[in-house]
């Protein structure tokens, strides 16, 4: 696999972790960062995530590949501009929502150069210092509407993700956004809401956190996630997230009703049904 000069727009958790993998797996002939935050830019250079920081136009000109790893609201604004600058380069993104982004460039003359992807990995941290080695490995990556992209671009992007150790899945953007609401977006909302539930209680009682158990930390971990990333995801995937949130609230109401009515047989059934998740996850 020939090394390519790669630009990463947004050198945070995702962009930075991707930079580490591209270097480690020998896929990059130099990495250029494009970064609107001066402190993130400085940190990315200091950590060796990128070789240099350049303005977008200059970076695109010098690169064979451009990766977008910025919040999905800014992605929707930036992707058409990047495609305006592109000649033969490959462009791909790592955003958590796909429908709006793909619609936005549907009729762009350079649409073929763009590959829409969602590597299903992340942590609750953000910024270049949150970048970690071995990110993405053994997780799924979704490639959306591959038929709208040029074959050479899709093939190269697939090779990259395979080298990183990801499982490739293809689906259309609409299906992706529904699935992402179930297996990623709702987890964040429950975690944010759980944190707020306990923080509400903590107003009267600070001692509560001394007791935080391993289980609590696990379910509430995602509540540390960045609003700049998540508000745009919820905006773009509003309808699907609302559907899943309604279903989730109605599932919680079943537990509530069991407790209110002291119907412990049904409570046991609900728990045993939930246990099936273990067989399915691994």
Quote the tokens at residue 169. 């899945």
**Min dist. Cβ of residue 12 to a second copy (A):** 16
Quote the tokens at residue 116. 């829409």
Q: Return the residue of 1, 151, 159, 235 that touches a second copy, per CB under 8 A.
A: 235
Q: Return the residue of 2, 55, 107, 275 that touches a second copy, per CB under 8 A.
A: 275
Q: Is 218 in the site for a second copy (CB under 8 A)?
A: yes
Q: Considering only the stretches 3-11, 24-32, 85-93, 119-127, report the one whose residues sit in contact with a second copy under the rule CB under 8 A.
A: 119-127
Quote the tokens at residue 147. 């038929």
**Which secondary structure element, helix H or strand E, spans residue 42, and what is its range?**
helix 38-46
Q: Is 216 in the site for a second copy (CB under 8 A)?
A: yes
Count the Cβ atoms, other than its own, within 10 Å of residue 278: 8
Q: Return the residue of 56, 64, 85, 120 that touches a second copy, per CB under 8 A.
A: 120
Got the DSSP string for 229-264? HHHHHHHHTHHHHHHHHHHHHHHHHHHHHHHHTT-H
Q: Measured from the CB atom, is 40 or 179 closer to a second copy?
A: 179
Q: Return the residue of 56, 128, 225, 236 that touches a second copy, per CB under 8 A.
A: 225
Q: Measured from the CB atom, is 84 or 247 closer to a second copy?
A: 247
Question: Starting at the edge strand that comes first in sequence, how are the strands of the sheet with 52-53 ordered?
Answer: 52-53, 28-34, 4-9, 65-68, 90-93, 114-119, 140-144, 167-171
Which pairing describes strands 65-68 and 52-53: parallel, antiparallel, or unpaired?
unpaired
As a whole number of angstroms, the distance between CA 23 and CA 154 comes to 20
Q: Which backbone phi and psi does 141 adopt, to 5 degrees?
A: -125, 135
Q: Please tell me the count of residues contacting a second copy according to CB under 8 A.
A: 91
Q: Considering only the stretches 4-12, 48-56, 148-156, 222-230, report the one whose residues sit in contact with a second copy under the rule CB under 8 A.
A: 222-230
**Min dist. Cβ of residue 115 to a second copy (A):** 18
Q: Report the site for a second copy in 151-210 (rule: CB under 8 A).
A: 167, 169, 171, 179-180, 182-184, 186-202, 205, 207-210
Q: Return the residue of 93, 94, 95, 121 that touches a second copy, per CB under 8 A.
A: 121
């Amino acid at each position: 696999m020939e090394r390519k000069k790669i630009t990463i727009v947004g050198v945070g958790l995702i962009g930075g972790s991707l930079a580490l993998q591209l270097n480690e797996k020998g896929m990059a002939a130099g990495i250029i960062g494009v970064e609107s935050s001066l402190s993130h830019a400085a940190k990315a250079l200091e950590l060796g995530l990128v070789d240099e920081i350049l303005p977008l136009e200059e970076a695109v000109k010098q690169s064979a590949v451009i990766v977008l790893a910025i919040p999905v609201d800014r992605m929707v604004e930036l992707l058409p501009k990047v495609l305006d600058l592109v000649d033969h380069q490959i462009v791909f993104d790592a955003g958590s929502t796909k429908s709006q982004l793909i619609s936005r460039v549907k009729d762009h003359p350079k649409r073929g150069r763009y590959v829409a992807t969602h590597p299903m990995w992340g942590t609750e941290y953000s910024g270049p210092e949150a970048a970690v080695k071995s990110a993405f490995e053994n997780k799924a990556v979704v490639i959306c509407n591959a038929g709208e992209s040029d074959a050479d671009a899709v093939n190269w992007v697939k090779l990259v993700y395979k080298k990183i150790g990801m499982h490739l899945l293809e689906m259309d953007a609409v299906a992706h956004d529904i699935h992402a609401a179930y297996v990623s977006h709702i987890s964040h909302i429950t975690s944010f809401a759980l944190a707020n539930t306990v923080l509400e209680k903590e107003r009267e009682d600070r001692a509560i956190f001394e007791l935080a158990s391993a289980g609590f930390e696990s379910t509430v971990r995602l509540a540390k996630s960045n609003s700049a990333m998540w508000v745009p995801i919820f905006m773009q995937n509003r309808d699907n997230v609302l559907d899943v949130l309604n279903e989730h609230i109605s599932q919680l109401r079943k537990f509530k009703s069991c407790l209110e009515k002291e119907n412990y047989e049904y409570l046991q059934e609900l728990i045993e049904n939930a246990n099936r998740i273990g067989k399915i996850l691994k």
